[in-house]
Amino acid sequence: MSTKHFFHDSESLVLDCLESLTITNTFLDFDRANKSVFYTGHDSSKNVALISGGGAGHEPAHAGYVGEGLLTAAVSGSIFASPNVSQIVNTISRVGGEAGTILIIKNYTGDVFHFHLAAEKARANYGLKVEIIVVGDDVSVGRQKSGKVGRRGLAGTVLVHKILGAISKNPNATLENIASMGRLVASNLVTVGASLGHVHVPGRAAPDPSNSPLDQIELGMGIHNESGSRILNPPPDANALIEMMLDQLLSTTDSDRSYVDMKDAQEIVLLVNNLGGISVLEMGGITKAVVSALEVRKITLSRVFSGTFMSSLDGPGFSITLLRANSEMLKYLDAPSNAVGWPSTEGLLSLKREKSSQADRIHAHSEAELQGQQDGAKMNIDEFRAQVTQACKNLIEAEGRITEADTIVGDGDCGITLARGANAVMAYVEKTQLSPNAAPALLGISNVIEESMDGTSGALYSIFFNALASALRSLPSTGELGSSEWGSVASSALAKLQAATPARQGDRTLMDALEPFIKSFDAGEGSEVAFEHAKKGVEATKGMQAAFGRAVYVEESAWSQVPDPGAEGILCILEGLVKKP
């Protein structure tokens, strides 16, 4: 749980957040006294007004859905607290008219009481026609536990907003017809969430960290920090978690949680919702995993929406919503809206279209294609394979240590990048029938590195191995390579690498290991002595001022804590090549 915030006055924060919507969207207006946001283009004499709301902290819900083709207005309470009755009544009176008003709310006691009372007051005081749709789409807390209160309202509420918002653009759509569609949509929604932890509300005292276990996932956690249905400790991986969530959503045999049968559904809509604290990168992975898991279950999706639709502040979790839909609902989901919280649907195509399928494959390079010839300097291929494999194993084993060091002095990706490359190279040398000709074998490894390693490390390694292969190609075919030839070609490759980067020994880079090794080895001092020079070079980087990379920007005190991660990676490789197994 993160307890650090830029703002500590939550009441002012809510007001400023709402007002910011009118700054960036000129079609919106803000009533500060009632914490309400309005769509200025609404004609209350012709079109049914749609109002939603509830506690703040669920952004972009609900004010982010105010706009053409979506909500007419949204009224906000404090963080995780319902707006009061007068706020809601004033909002109804402002946008409601002859066509009528529909209140769309999530099924929470405070919201239900306040919005129902506000509806009664609007009817009695202003003679307005008001309908209420209560959305309860949660399946995690089943019938037995939820009792008479019913299911909690979660991210599926947003789909009700969107469908009814598109219908309400039509002046011929009646209050009764729109409300009827809203209840149909709500009755066909199922949602389940999962979170790595609770959230902290700005301005409140930080909880005791000992009461917040780190190594668990809460299945079914609500959007107000409410407890879920099950604590998963130890936490499963993402795929296993998603299977558990889909079991709750789709089971027709669980009498406590079976609400909507997706079998034989005309259309099925998926909404994957970020609770606020999941990175875009992980949300992409989650969405892909959910879609893949549904495909395995023979669930055909008509539409997929992924993003932050209803958050819980910066909640480290996500929810999955399924809607049993029909073609009419899809038409309204596809309709455009300028509301800031709704994604653009322009050009949205049905997922039922025929997809081109490309299976995962390992791109194996033919040694003859890489080199274009089968002659050249030779090497002992079995010894070479064993040395390269050991070097790769060294890198993989050191991944944690190198990553930890790079987290201190860099961006934390060095160990992961090197391990990824090592795994790819190891698979290549194990599965490929390597040529005893040195140049094509090294060029093949260079290509694997280029494809598997990104970032600066990938570029530097690719340059060096390409240059090494080029130098080997120029050698005559005079038998097996010896130490002097290897030293010569390594020195040539180093020169090519130095032409591409100004980094040199003493700059706290991989050069602090590579340069002393090659110079010593090319001088005929032998691989063991050269390795010791490389080792001393790595040790010397501890405390050395960085001249390149992101290490330049870290505090100087960090440099003394660890050696350069890139140099340490080179040392792992050299140890595998030099040391006898």
Q: Given CA atoms 44, 50, 55, 57 in this order, what sign does their dihedral have?
A: negative
Total length of the chain: 581
DSSP structural state of residue 579: S
On whether 58 is known to bind a ligand per the annotation, the reply is yes
Q: Which helix (H) or strand (E) holds 103?
A: strand 101-106
Query: Cβ of 412: how many Cβ atoms within 10 Å?
Result: 16
On whether 261 is known to bind a ligand per the annotation, the reply is no
Residue entry with tokens 């992924």: 306
CB 396 within 8 A of CB 419: yes
Question: In sequence order, what DSSP letters do the residues of 282-343 get, joined into one string?
Answer: HHHHHHHHHHHHHHHTTPPPSEEEEE-SS--TTBSEEEEEEEEE-HHHHHHHHS----TTSP
Task: Name the token pair of 47.
Answer: 């079109």
On whether 365 is known to bind a ligand per the annotation, the reply is no
CB 460 within 8 A of CB 421: no
Give the torsion through C-alpha atoms of 489, 495, 501, 505, to 10 deg.
90
On whether 169 is known to bind a ligand per the annotation, the reply is no
Of 62, 66, 167, 165, nearest in space to 115 by CA: 62
The backbone torsions φ and ψ at residue 350, rounded to the nearest 5 degrees and listed phi first, read -65, 140
Burial zone of 357 (CB within 10 Å; 0-12 exposed, 13-18 middle, 19+ buried): exposed
Question: Cα separation of 199 and 176, whole Å?
Answer: 39
Of the residues 42, 161, 200, 224, only one is catalytic, namely 224
Question: Cα separation of 556 and 537, whole Å?
Answer: 19
Question: Cα separation of 355 and 79, whole Å?
Answer: 44
Of 252, 233, 251, nearest in space to 243 by CA: 251
On whether 5 is known to bind a ligand per the annotation, the reply is no
On whether 63 is known to bind a ligand per the annotation, the reply is no
Of 98, 100, 59, nearest in space to 79 by CA: 59
Task: Name the token pair of 537.
Answer: 């070079």
Residue 200 is among the residues annotated as catalytic for this protein:
no
Report the catalytic residues.
224
- Residues belonging to the binding site for substrate are 55-58, 106, 111
Indicate the annotated binding residues.
Answer: 55-58, 106, 111
